[in-house]
Amino acid sequence: MTDTLLSDCRVPVLGICAYSGTGKTTLLLKLLPELNRRGLKVAVVKHAHHNFEVDKPGKDSFELRKAGADQMLIGSSNRRALMMERPVEGDPDLKELLAMIDQERVDLILVEGFKKLALPKLELHRAEVGKPFVFTQDALIQAIACDDATVLPADCALSRLSINDVEGIADFIQGFMARWTPVAPAPLGPSCDSVERKQLSVTQGVQRILAMVQPVAETESAHLTESLGRVLAEDAISPVNVPQQTNSAMDGYAFAAGAHDDYQLVGEVFAGYAHEGTLAPGQAVKIMTGAPLPEGADTVVMRELASEQAGRVRFDGAIEPGQNVRQAGEDIAVGATALNAGQRIDAAEMGLLASLGLAQPTLWRRPKVAIFSTGDEVCAPEQPLKANCIFDANRFTLQGMLAKLGCEVLDLGIIEDNEAAMVAALERAAAEADVVITSGGVSVGDADFIKDALAKLGNIDFWKIAQRPGRPLAFGSLKGKLFFGLPGNPVAVMVSFMQFVQPALRKMAGEADWQPTLIKAIATEPMRSRTGRTEFTRGIAALGAGGQLEVRTTGSQGSGILSSMVQANCLIVIEEAIDQVRPGDAVWVQLFADLM
């Protein structure tokens, strides 16, 4: 890889460039709180004149540096500062400065004032300052934020933002972050094409989306019966030992292991009760499964191996001291973490929490998701079907999948194909929900209502993902909320939801590091694919005669055939590198089980 200014950067770097007097710092002072509010940690690198001071004469750190400390590092529990003497000719080396930022701890680096360097930038412009545009000389300018009085040249293809619209600029920055990939940028010059869009791989698409998702911040507590499908916000720490007492794993007899031929029977203990007193050597009690072991006993023999006669009991076979006994805290000790924060609560987790007496777990708030369908041809299923129309399937597959993901759904119905209606629906959706999902209207051939409406309200990219089905996908931020514009075809909607929306919603819901579960199955028929594209084929996986998991397709893979999703129990995931699948080849399958 060529060594360029940003080739070592692990997070997006965006320059903010303008002539002095335009208000770079003023904007940054408003932008930083807005980016923080959206959960982003930001580093700022600022260019300064050669002998700037951050320290004051009289302070120890100042005096120590003046006395000759070549590097002066001062730290407290809240803050640290490193001052280094590094005289260079001309401008400071930005690459070196960027390397000093702790990139593990930030999501974004903003660079103020290295106007001439080869990094992507946002240009700020105010007509009253009376300076020329930077973008006409710099192909790395990504957008221009200016005042109303600014007149852009007619051939300017950059997005225009208002320099006073902090939210709009924050939307743009989040869009920029989502598009960013850690590669060397093209050098300055006319050959640089910063708007070139290649097809994204499925993995790249998911990574870009996840980079923009922030988990919800609010928690609430709910009763266990209300917590199915929700995500724990705090570790579940066991307040008790499980089991609470050392107890018997069998119906049988408890005693202290020792060299006795038979034992004197001194009592009987049932689950939920205790034997009073301590067993002496040679004594035994009859004991039920789960009943606490009496003091003095350490071993249980099952009833089937015992013979009782005249108040005494003897056993067949060898006895191992300690056998058939469950120790207190053996399953979960008091104080141990039984479930980690970020765990989604399913049936087993509900049971486990209940078994610890944690009836009121602290949960993350459910993400709220607004959905609507688009298209004049789309009819609500409650209405009679109009000529040349189709019933709306997508809102219902979406509702089903969102419910499985524990989301709160705001159903905005079907929005007709006109820009004003679309703008109104998108505005309401973004105001009321954390995520907005639409279906239809994002393909190349579609009327442009959605695209125009989206361009007005947010920063949305139209991605071509190298996958089938479900290629067109619009994604970005809309008034600070996440937006997914899914394709119209019902199967494509479900597949794109599974692959792209699901990981985003799981992260937002607080689920830690979710990954789809993929398992290998043997293909029983040839499956078509093409290198460079991920194929999601609807499949039916079942155990074959040889005891191995096998998978066949549901047949025709048209992306409108919703019945094939009903027949299928998995997606067969044929990766980009594979051009063909023959019978007997192992393929990955992603079971529907966790979503449908």
DSSP string, 328-341: TTSSB-TT-EEE-T
Which of 484, 488, 451, 447 is CA-nearest to residue 470? Answer: 488
Contact pick of 138, 171, 392, 550 for ligand AMP (by CB under 6 A): 392
Q: How far apart are CA 596 and CA 588, in angstroms?
A: 18
Selection from Mg ion, ligand AMP, none that 215 binds (CB < 5 to 8 A by kind) is none
By the 10 Å C-beta count (0-12 exposed, 13-18 middle, 19+ buried), 148 is classed as exposed
Contact 536, 495 (CB under 8 A): yes
Output the six-digit token pair for 260: 């006795």
Which residue lies nearer to Mg ion by CB, 367 or 485?
485
CB of 373 to Mg ion, least distance (A): 9
Which residue lies nearer to ligand AMP by CB, 279 or 450?
450
The span from the first CA to the last CA of the chain, in angstroms, equals: 44
Report how many residues bind ligand AMP under the rule CB under 6 A. 17
Contact pick of 406, 441, 458, 485 for Mg ion (by CB under 5 A): 441
Contact pick of 118, 378, 430, 541 for ligand AMP (by CB under 6 A): 378
Which of 364, 595, 592, 370 is CA-nearest to residue 478? Answer: 370
Helix (H, G, I), strand (E, B) or coil at 499: helix
Strand partners, 590: 518, 571
Segment 370 to 389, residues that bind Mg ion, using CB under 5 A: 375
CB of 389 to ligand AMP, least distance (A): 9
Q: Which stretch binds ligand AMP (CB under 6 A): 79-87, 192-200, 217-225, 387-395?
A: 387-395
Which residue lies nearer to ligand AMP by CB, 241 or 373?
373
Contact 112, 47 (CB under 8 A): yes
At position 422, the amino acid (one-letter code) is M
Q: Which stretch binds Mg ion (CB under 5 A): 113-121, 390-398, 441-449, 584-592?
A: 441-449
CB of 472 to ligand AMP, least distance (A): 7
* Helix, strand, coil content of the chain in percent (nearest 5): 25, 30, 50
Which residue lies nearer to ligand AMP by CB, 176 or 396?
396
393 binds ligand AMP (CB under 6 A): yes
490 binds ligand AMP (CB under 6 A): yes
Cis check for the bond before 132: say yes or no (omega within 30 of 0): no
Q: How far apart are CA 278 and CA 103, in angstroms?
A: 63
At position 169, the amino acid (one-letter code) is I
469 binds ligand AMP (CB under 6 A): no
Which residue lies nearer to Mg ion by CB, 108 or 436?
436
Length of the chain (residues): 596
Count of beta carbons in the 10 Å neighbourhood of residue 57? 8
Selection from Mg ion, ligand AMP, none that 476 binds (CB < 5 to 8 A by kind) is none
376 binds ligand AMP (CB under 6 A): no
Contacts of 569 (CB under 8 A, 6+ apart): 539, 540, 541, 591, 592, 593
The site map against ligand AMP for 470-489 (x = CB under 6 A) is -----------------xxx
Q: How far apart are CA 28 and CA 23, in angstroms?
A: 9
447 binds ligand AMP (CB under 6 A): no
Q: Which stretch binds ligand AMP (CB under 6 A): 152-160, 201-209, 277-285, 371-379?
A: 371-379
487 binds Mg ion (CB under 5 A): no
Contacts of 140 (CB under 8 A, 6+ apart): 118, 119, 120, 121, 185, 186, 188, 192, 194
CB of 437 to Mg ion, least distance (A): 15
Which residue lies nearer to Mg ion by CB, 376 or 575?
376
Q: What angle do CA 318, 322, 323 make, to 5 degrees?
A: 55
Contact 242, 355 (CB under 8 A): yes
438 binds ligand AMP (CB under 6 A): no
Strands 527-528 and 580-581: antiparallel
Residue closest to ligand AMP when measured from CB atoms? 488
Which residue lies nearer to Mg ion by CB, 375 or 510?
375
Which residue lies nearer to ligand AMP by CB, 383 or 517?
383
377 binds ligand AMP (CB under 6 A): yes
Segment 443 to 472, residues that bind Mg ion, using CB under 5 A: none
Q: Which stretch binds ligand AMP (CB under 6 A): 38-46, 83-91, 438-446, 525-533?
A: 438-446
Selection from ligand AMP, Mg ion, none that 377 binds (CB < 5 to 8 A by kind) is ligand AMP
Output the six-digit token pair for 182: 């850690």
Please report, as ranges, the residues that interact with ligand AMP according to CB under 6 A: 373, 375, 377-378, 390, 392-394, 439-441, 443, 446, 487-490
Please report, as ranges, the residues that interact with Mg ion according to CB under 5 A: 375, 440-441, 488
